[in-house]
Copies of this chain bind each other. A is one copy, B any other.
Amino acid sequence: MNDKPGGVMLPTRIVPFPDSISQAAQTALRRLVDEQGVPLNSRHVMPALEEFDAWMQVKASVDAHYAAALEQLSGHLRAGVETIRVGSAVIHIATPVDPLSDDCAYIDLHGGALVFGGGAACRAGAQMQADRLRIRCYGVDYRMPPEHPYPAALDDCMAVWSHVLERYAPENVVIGGRSAGGNLAAAMTLRARDEGLPLPAALVLLSPEVDLTESGDSFQTNQWIDVVLPGSLMANNLLYAKGADLAHPWLSPLFGDFSKGFPPTFLQSGTRDLFLSNTVRLHRALRRARIPAELHVFEAMPHGGFMGAPEDQELSEAIESFVHQHLGALS
C-alpha cells in the first residue's frame, strides 16, 4: 500500500538524566551506564535454552550479587522470620514486632526474571514487607528454572494460597509482587478464580512482568532508556515456560478475562520502565472490566526503582496506604 517503514526513525542521541527527579535518583541512573552512556546491564547475555549448567552459574552469580546488596540491609530488619515447607513450597513467614492486627496477612512474591531472587533475598524481602506493612508477611520462595520450569512456581504459589486461606479470611489478605513476582501474583489470582478458590482482598503489582510474549510498545520505546532492564527477557521467559504457551493467562496474565472477577489492584511503573506498557495495558484491561484499579507512574523511573531515593520511599508509602485501606480487618 505504501513504502513507509512501519515505524519512527530515531537518530543517534544522548538522552540526558533529567533534573526533574531527586539527586539520589539521578545518581542511581548514572551508576548504571558506562563511560559511553551504554547501560552496564546490556552486557549480560543469557545462556542458550538447553545450557543447564550455564544457567545454574548465572543464577549463582546473580543471587550472590543480590546477597551482597542485602548486606546493607542487615541490622535494619526488625521482623522475626521462620522458614517452613508446605508441600513443595518453601515460605519465609515474617512477623512484625508491632503488628497492627493479627488477622491480616500479605503474600510477597519476589522478582528476579522468573529465575533469580530466591533464598536469602526472598527471606529478607519478607521481613522488609512485614516491617513496612506491620502485618505478617508470607515470602514465597517458589521453585524456578532451569531445575523447575512452569508450572512449578505457580503450583507453589497455589499451595501457599491454600495454606494462608486455612488461617486467614481472604478479605484480610493482600498479594503483591514486583516484576516476575507481579506476574505470579496476577497469575495465581486468575488461577484461584478459575479453580473456584476465594480471591484476595487486593493485589499490588509493581512493574509487573505480565506479558511473557513482550508485545507491548515500551519493549521497543524504552529499550536502553531503561538502564536497569535494557532489553528483552525472552531467554528467561522461554526457560520458564519450557514449551508452554507464553500467551496463556497463567503465564501472561495480561491476556486474562477480568470480567469474570478480579480484586482491586494497585499498579506501578516508571516512564523509563521497560514494563511501562505491561503496566498501563493491564490497568486499562482491568478498568474496561470495571475492576477498581489505580495506576502510579513515576517520573524517569526505570524497572525496579531508584534503589533508595525519596521516590522509592514515596512509592512505599502509597503501597502501605493502599494495602491498609483494602484489608477488611483494618478498614
Where the two chains meet, the residues of A that have a C-beta atom closer than 8 Å to any C-beta of B are: 2-21, 30, 33-39, 215-218, 220-222, 224-225, 227, 271-272, 276-277, 280-281, 283-284, 287-288, 294-300, 314, 318
Contact = CB atoms under 8 A, between A and B. Distances in A.
Contacts of A314: 284, 288
Contact of A11 (B6, B7, B9, B12): B12
Nearest to A227: B8
B271 A18 contact: no
Contact of A271 (B9, B36, B221): B221
A294 B284 CA distance: 12
A299 B283 CA distance: 10
Given A284-B299, A299-B280, A215 B18 contact: yes
A16 B20 contact: no
Contacts of A224: 8-11
A186 to B, nearest CB: 17
Nearest to A311: B284
A284 B317 CA distance: 12
Give the copy number: 2
Contact of A15 (B14, B221, B318): B221
Given A4-B37, A8-B225, A287-B318, A217 B14 contact: no
B18 A4 contact: no
Contact of A277 (B13, B20, B284): B20
Given A10-B12, A271-B276, A287-B296, 19 more contacts: A5-B33, A8-B17, A8-B37, A9-B14, A9-B37, A10-B13, A10-B225, A11-B12, A15-B221, A20-B217, A20-B281, A21-B217, A216-B299, A217-B272, A221-B222, A280-B298, A284-B299, A284-B314, A295-B295
22 contacts: A2-B35, A4-B30, A7-B17, A7-B37, A8-B17, A8-B33, A8-B39, A8-B225, A9-B14, A9-B224, A10-B12, A10-B224, A11-B224, A15-B220, A20-B216, A20-B217, A20-B277, A221-B271, A271-B276, A280-B297, A284-B296, A295-B295
